[in-house]
């Protein structure tokens, strides 16, 4: 049975119903998995968060839970996302429709767990979603890990945030009031270009904390240009490694924002 150490429930909102896996106790954290799905490294990340004293809510949005990553599997799920009405992979100035359902899940997690609010971490295809969820006041600790939407097919797409102007204003107001954003990326990652973080710095100022891990040629960590998933697939779980430091900072960030 996949994810046997997690509980699960069905969560419905506005006609859409999905399975949500939960684990742990404490303030709520919504973990949105990356392409191609809830792979073993994604599940391990959620375990790390829950073991640190949080209740993880991990919705199943695509793929097969705990199926290992492979190139054919990833390509198949990218194709599915591209044709799905729930994901707008090229939209520069609007969020994917699935973010409405995810906001409702964040509110549900906050109601269950209490406290100041919930954390929300997105990865890759879902990375920008944490920014969209921040429009809801229940979200107090948004983390963007290698945010990859919109797909960087042009200069404008490389700098865009997959967020409407109205939602951007709300995000700016909340960041200015102390609800800042944490972002993670590898410097040579073509799916999460530097222009995207430059836009976040421009829009949010001191409300944006960036962790950018050197992965270009000759980097001291042996990382390749294919390094993409900071806290999951490409995590090197060793003291002193920058990906481990990034993981530790994410958990610390949740604690700073979510504990009374």
Here the tokens at position 165 are 């102007």
Task: Identify the residue whose tokens are 């990340």.
Answer: 45
Distance CA 3, CA 101 (A): 22
Identify the burial level of 239 via C-beta atoms within 10 angstroms of its C-beta, where 0-12 means exposed, 13-18 middle and 19 or more buried: exposed
pLDDT tens profile 206-234: 999 999 999 999 999 989 989 999 999 99
Task: State yes or no: cis peptide before 36, omega within 30 of 0.
Answer: yes
Task: Identify the residue whose tokens are 């997959």.
Answer: 162
Residue range 144-152: mean pLDDT, rounded:
96
Here the tokens at position 138 are 């229940």
The domain segmentation of the chain, as residue ranges, is: 7-258
Here the tokens at position 87 are 């994901």
pLDDT at 163 over 90: yes
Number of Cβ atoms within 10 Å of the Cβ of 156 = 12
Residue range 98-127: mean pLDDT, rounded:
97
What SS3 state is found at 169? helix
Better-predicted residue by pLDDT, 121 or 91:
121
Report, at the CATH architecture level, how domain 7-258 is classified: 3-Layer(aba) Sandwich (3.40)
pLDDT at 87 over 90: no
| Model confidence band, residue 81 (pLDDT cutoffs 50, 70, 90) | confident
Distance CA 15, CA 214 (A): 43
**CA 104 vs CA 16, 125, 138: distances in Å:** 11, 19, 10
**pTM for this prediction:** 0.96
CA 255 to chain centre: 17
CA 178 to chain centre: 20
| Cβ atoms of 17 and 56 closer than 8 Å | no
Task: Tell me how far apart the terminal alpha carbons of the chain are, to the nearest angstrom.
Answer: 36
pLDDT tens profile 31-49: 999 999 999 999 999 999 9
- The per-residue b/e assignment along 105-143, b for 16 or more CB within 10 angstroms, e otherwise, is bbbbbbeebeeebbbbbbbbbbbbbbbbbbbbebbbbbb
pLDDT at 260 over 90: no
């Amino acid at each position: 049975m996949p994810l046997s150490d997690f509980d699960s429930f069905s969560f419905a909102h506005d006609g859409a119903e999905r399975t949500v896996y939960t684990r742990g106790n404490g303030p709520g954290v919504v973990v949105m998995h990356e392409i191609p799905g809830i792979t073993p490294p994604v599940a391990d990340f959620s375990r790390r968060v829950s073991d640190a004293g949080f209740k993880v809510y991990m919705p199943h949005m695509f793929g097969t839970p705990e199926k290992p990553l492979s190139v054919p599997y990833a390509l198949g799920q990218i194709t599915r996302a591209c044709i799905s009405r729930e994901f707008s992979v090229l939209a520069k100035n609007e969020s994917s429709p699935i973010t409405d359902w995810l906001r409702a899940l964040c509110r549900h997690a906050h109601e269950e767990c209490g406290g100041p609010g919930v954390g929300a971490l997105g990865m890759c295809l879902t990375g920008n979603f944490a920014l969209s969820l921040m429009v809801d006041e229940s979200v107090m600790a948004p983390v963007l890990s290698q945010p990859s939407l919109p797909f960087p097919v042009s200069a404008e797409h490389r700098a865009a945030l997959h967020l409407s102007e109205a939602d951007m204003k709300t995000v700016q107001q909340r960041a200015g009031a102390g609800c800042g954003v944490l972002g993670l990326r590898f410097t040579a990652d073509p799916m999460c270009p530097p222009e995207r973080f430059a836009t976040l710095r421009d829009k949010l100022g001191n409300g944006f904390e960036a962790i950018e891990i050197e992965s270009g040629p000759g980097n001291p960590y042996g990382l390749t240009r294919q390094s993409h998933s900071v806290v999951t697939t490409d995590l090197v779980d060793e003291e002193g490694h920058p990906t481990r430091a990034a993981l530790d900072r994410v958990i610390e960030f949740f604690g700073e924002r979510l504990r009374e």
